[in-house]
């Protein structure tokens, strides 16, 4: 199994901490976010890890890791950065945001999921936004779920009868078949005159929704362990309390 980690953003909301250092290399009690991710992936049998870098590419020094430099990170959003690693969409594939910390319970559950398109979600998400004033609940990537399938993935979802709302935590697992379908779908979007400029502004959630809209089934994998996203100084302080 391979893992693609998207680490091509600026991390501007962390201020001076990320002016000269990628957010994923920030220290959390003696280990960087990225180092913690890599160790958990390797201990769960992930044999090939590829990091997609952007600004401050030269600061990534982890050995036995492959790197893909996104030279166009200023010209597209998150999805465009991910697709700089398109050559790796030929196998079972994990896709991760580089600013998400998680424990072994979280990653092992998503790794062991066996559907084609799997995304890790947290149904107990609302309590994590208590006191999180620098990253309010309106910025959460939410999923609308019914009969163990995702129907919508976007911010500011409102409850609907018989549907459940959870939060997408930034980890995806694709089967080999789904990896090829993901790449095929993106390639077709690139060829469309109506979509080529639009997809430059897309995040990964936009792509997932487009796959759903084109009759692909996406399965939510309910996680139970600890996780947190690090987007602000407030998040960083919380992460250092959660992860020793």
Q: What would the pLDDT profile of 184-196 be if each residue is shown by its tens digit?
A: 999 999 999 899 9
Asked whether residue 29 carries a pLDDT value surpassing 90, the answer given is: yes
In 196-236, the DSSP E strands lie at 218-222, 227-229
- How many whole angstroms separate alpha carbon 99 and alpha carbon 237? 14
Residue with tokens 């913690």: 36
Residue with tokens 């379908």: 181
All structural domains of the chain, each given as residue ranges with its CATH number in brackets, are: 2-242 (3.90.550.10)
The pLDDT value given to residue 28? 97
Answer yes or no: are the C-beta atoms of 96 and 4 closer than 8 Å.
yes
The pLDDT value given to residue 163? 95
CA atoms within 13 A on the CB side of 141: 18
User: In which region does residue 107 sit, left (phi positive, over 0), alpha (psi from -120 to 50) or beta (all else)?
Assistant: alpha
Mean pLDDT of the chain: 96
Asked whether residue 159 carries a pLDDT value surpassing 90, the answer given is: no
- SS3 (DSSP) at 111: helix
Q: What would the pLDDT profile of 30-40 be if each residue is shown by its tens digit?
A: 999 999 999 99
pLDDT band with cut points at 50, 70 and 90 for residue 10: confident
Tokens of 174: 């694709």
Q: What would the pLDDT profile of 161-170 be if each residue is shown by its tens digit?
A: 989 999 999 9
Answer yes or no: are the C-beta atoms of 217 and 149 closer than 8 Å.
yes
- How many whole angstroms separate alpha carbon 115 and alpha carbon 78? 24
Q: What would the pLDDT profile of 93-138 be if each residue is shown by its tens digit?
A: 999 999 999 999 999 999 999 999 999 999 999 999 999 999 999 9
Q: Which residues contact 22 (CB under 8 A, 6 or more apart)?
A: 7, 11, 34, 53, 54, 55, 56, 59, 60, 98
Asked whether residue 155 carries a pLDDT value surpassing 90, the answer given is: yes
């Amino acid at each position: 199994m391979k893992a693609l980690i998207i680490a091509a953003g600026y991390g501007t909301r962390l201020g001076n901490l990320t002016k000269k250092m990628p957010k994923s290399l920030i220290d959390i009690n003696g280990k960087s976010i990225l180092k913690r991710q890599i160790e958990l992936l390797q201990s769960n049998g992930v044999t090939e890890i590829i990091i997609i870098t952007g600004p401050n590419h030269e600061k990534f020094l982890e050995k036995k890791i492959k790197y893909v430099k996104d030279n166009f990170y200023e010209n597209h959003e998150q999805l465009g950065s991910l697709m700089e690693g398109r050559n790796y969409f030929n196998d079972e594939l994990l896709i991760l945001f580089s600013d998400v910390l998680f424990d072994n319970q979280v990653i092992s559950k998503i790794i062991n999921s066996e559907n084609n398109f799997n995304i890790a979600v947290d149904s107990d998400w609302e309590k994590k936004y208590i006191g999180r004033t620098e990253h309010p609940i309106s910025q959460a990537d939410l999923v609308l779920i019914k009969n163990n399938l995702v129907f919508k993935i976007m911010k500011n979802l409102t409850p609907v009868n018989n549907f459940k709302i959870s939060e997408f935590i930034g980890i995806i697992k694709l089967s080999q078949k789904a990896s090829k379908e993901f790449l095929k779908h993106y390639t077709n979007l690139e060829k469309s005159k109506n979509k080529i400029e639009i997809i430059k502004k897309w995040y990964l959630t936009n792509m997932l929704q487009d796959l759903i809209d084109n009759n692909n089934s996406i399965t939510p994998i309910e996680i139970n362990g600890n996780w947190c996203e690090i987007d602000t100084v407030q998040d960083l302080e919380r992460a250092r309390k959660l992860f020793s």
